[in-house]
């Protein structure tokens, strides 16, 4: 039985998890687990949509696959060093460590993307550089055991890519057909290459206003904690 573990946290984007979850849960011989800093109900960024994490990070010490979703706030979870340490520990046990959307920033903050090609939501692509990653504008980016997906809906593509690796292309194709994943969007503006530049600029500004403040990296844990306390005091 292969274990697929999803990391949940407050404010996460629901579709970042639900998309790949729908795919991966259909793979024969897979057990899906949901973990958070503390077990219990997790409020997503979708109004009134709550997900349940049945495990805390203390409960889970290994995974065959780790999936880290993103959030509208583009959080790095730096305020929870115990979660980043847990990611580092779990990464040592995984066959694949994955992220969706801004979840790659969390992998970066955990120290997993140094010198690694990775993607993210287009609005935060430059933030990957802070963590030593190589920003790569692709729907899904594979770099050894690390697989990152672009914004939100790309998590389904990542899930199907991973399904083919785990169970073979025919199984992945059947899953794709079963969920009728055949995107035909009503508007051809789902990427910044296709969208009107003015729309891109307006949306970028609106999204950036919700992003977590970028904190300058410091040398010591004490300095970092003090800086976080100062930042949190601003809210």
Nearest partner of 99 among 135, 140, 130, judged by Cα: 140
Cβ atoms < 10 Å from Cβ of 178: 11
DSSP 3-state of 143: strand
Distance, in Å, from the CA atom of 147 to the CA atom of 91, rounded to the nearest integer, reads 12
Active site residue 189: no
Number of C-alpha atoms within 13 angstroms, CB side, residue 48? 0
CA angle 194, 200, 202 (to 5 degrees): 155
Beta-bridge partner residues of 71: 12
The string of DSSP letters for 169-235 reads HHHHHHHHHHTT-----SSS-SSTTTS-HHHHHHHHHHHHTTSPPP----SSHHHHHHHHHHHHTT-
Residues contacting 14, CB < 8 A, separation 6+: 44, 45, 46, 49, 51
Cβ atoms < 10 Å from Cβ of 114: 10
Indicate which residue of 101, 105, 154, 160 is catalytic.
101
- Which positions are catalytic? 101
């Amino acid at each position: 039985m292969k274990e697929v573990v999803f990391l949940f946290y407050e404010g996460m984007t629901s579709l970042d998890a639900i998309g790949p979850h729908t795919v991966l849960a259909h793979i024969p011989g897979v057990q899906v687990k949901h973990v958070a800093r503390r077990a219990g109900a997790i409020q997503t960024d979708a109004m009134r949509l709550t997900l349940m994490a049945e495990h805390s990070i203390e409960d889970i010490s290994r995974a065959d696959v780790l999936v880290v979703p993103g959030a509208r706030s583009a959080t790095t979870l730096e305020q929870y060093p115990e979660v980043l340490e847990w990611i580092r520990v779990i990464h040592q046990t995984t066959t694949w460590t994955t992220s969706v959307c801004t979840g790659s920033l969390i992998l970066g903050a955990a120290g997993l993307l140094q010198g690694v090609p990775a993607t993210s939501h287009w609005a935060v692509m430059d933030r990957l550089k802070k963590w030593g990653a190589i920003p790569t504008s692709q729907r899904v980016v594979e770099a050894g055991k690390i697989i990152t997906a672009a914004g939100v809906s790309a998590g389904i593509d990542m899930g199907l890519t991973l399904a083919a690796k785990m169970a073979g292309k025919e199984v992945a194709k059947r899953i794709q057909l079963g969920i009728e994943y055949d995107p035909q969007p009503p508007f051809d503006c789902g990427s910044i290459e296709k969208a009107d530049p003015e729309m891109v600029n307006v949306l970028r500004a609106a999204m950036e206003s919700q992003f977590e403040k970028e904190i300058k990296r410091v040398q010591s844990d004490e300095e970092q904690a003090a800086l976080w306390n100062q930042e949190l005091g601003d809210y």
